[in-house]
């Protein structure tokens, strides 16, 4: 009896003779993700697991509630670095701030004692200095077509808003520069984008006008909770999702990464990214830990390996939508 494929001895022997062992293991892993993790898809929704298949599904009219999950990769073509790319990522270029470790710049306890590095970085990355990318405008186009249910973003650059998405269209999972608050629990005075911008670009450390405590943009630091709206909205949105589009994220940060498993088993998932994403670690006893890329194991997943802009342009072309780099979209003939 084969513990991997659950076949009787005769079938197991035949299979072992006919196929490499890795095929049997792959079947086991597919079954594991399907039954144990609830990630499998019993129903065939896409005619083919390609970008063309996704386009045909959208054009069929069966797809009415698209969710987008996006990360720093959708903003790199705007000139904003991502976090983890070797050499070019944000964490690889923070030596000038003399941090004990790169992530300290976003640690709430470190910020309260040493706010200077964060605000120096904020001057470099502050909203208003960058323009939305083709990818941002493609998400806005989904809204204009009545197809976008919500965009869940890990980004704090506010470019989704600049592209035309409004508060109800967005879940800014890691917060935003759009508003700021006094860090004192006894005060919590709120300040707007213009107030914070004036402080940052005058080289002042922003202090509360009421109590003189630090004022911090409403981005989520390590050690802080995600916005309540993130949790309430995901419970409503993901069960209703009929197409999940994931772009520009490595899916390494929880709880954001776990959202991909909250759609139904019949919901197709499209990844547009420069590399594989969505890894699950498996360990058996004392054996080494193996990382399995779930987007390539499951029968409902499409992975389009490209820049986010190129992937959006390719999908728009397949849909008959003409996209310009100025953010103006025209319906093709």
Residues making up the binding site for NAD(+):
72-76, 82-84, 154-157, 249-250, 273-275
The token duo for 172 is: 């800014």
Helices in 68-227 by DSSP H: which ranges?
108-113, 116-125, 134-144, 159-163, 193-201
Dihedral of CA 17/18/20/22: which sign?
negative
202, 207, 212, 216: CA torsion to nearest 10: 180
Report the C-alpha gap between 56 and 310 in whole angstroms. Answer: 19
CB 262 within 8 A of CB 37: no
Point out the annotated binding site: 72-76, 82-84, 154-157, 182, 187, 208, 211, 249-250, 273-275
Reading the block at residue 279, the tokens are: 């890894």
Binding-site residues for Zn(2+) sit at 182, 187, 208, 211
Kindly name the residue from 174, 181, 304, 330 that is annotated as catalytic: 174
Under 8 Å between Cβ of 206 and 199: yes
The answer to whether 136 is a known catalytic residue is: no
Point out the residues that are catalytic. 174
């Amino acid at each position: 009896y084969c513990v991997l494929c659950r076949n009787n001895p005769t079938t197991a022997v035949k299979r072992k003779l006919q196929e490499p062992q890795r095929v049997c293991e792959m079947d086991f892993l597919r079954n594991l993700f399907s039954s144990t993790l609830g990630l499998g898809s019993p129903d065939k929704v896409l005619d083919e697991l390609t970008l063309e298949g996704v386009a045909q599904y959208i054009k069929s009219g069966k797809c009415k509630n698209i969710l987008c999950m996006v990360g720093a990769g959708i903003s790199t073509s705007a000139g904003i670095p991502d976090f983890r790319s070797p050499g070019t990522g944000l964490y690889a270029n923070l030596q000038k701030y003399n941090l004990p470790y790169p992530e300290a710049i976003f640690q709430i306890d470190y910020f309260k004692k040493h706010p200077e590095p964060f605000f120096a970085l904020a001057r470099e990355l502050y909203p208003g200095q960058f323009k939305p990318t083709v990818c941002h405008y493609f998400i806005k186009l989904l809204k204009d077509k009545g197809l976008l249910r919500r965009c869940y973003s890990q980004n704090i650059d506010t470019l989704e808003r600049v592209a035309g998405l409004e508060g109800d269209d967005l879940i800014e999972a890691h917060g935003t520069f759009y508003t700021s608050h006094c860090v004192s629990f006894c005060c919590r005075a709120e300040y707007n984008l213009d107030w914070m911008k004036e402080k940052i670009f005058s080289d002042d450390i922003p202090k509360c006008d009421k109590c003189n405590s630090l004022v911090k943009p409403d981005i989520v630091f390590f050690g802080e909770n995600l916005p309540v709206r993130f949790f309430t909205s995901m419970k409503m949105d993901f069960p209703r999702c009929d197409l999940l589009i994931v772009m520009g994220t490595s899916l390494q940060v929880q709880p954001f990464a776990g959202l991909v498993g909250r759609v139904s088993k019949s919901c197709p998932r499209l990844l547009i990214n420069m590399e594989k994403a969505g890894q699950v670690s498996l360990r058996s006893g004392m054996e080494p830990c193996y990382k399995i890329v779930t987007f390539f194991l499951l029968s409902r997943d499409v992975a389009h390996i490209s820049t986010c802009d190129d992937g959006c342009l390719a999908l728009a072309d397949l849909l008959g939508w003409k996209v310009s780099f100025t953010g103006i979209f025209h319906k093709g003939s």
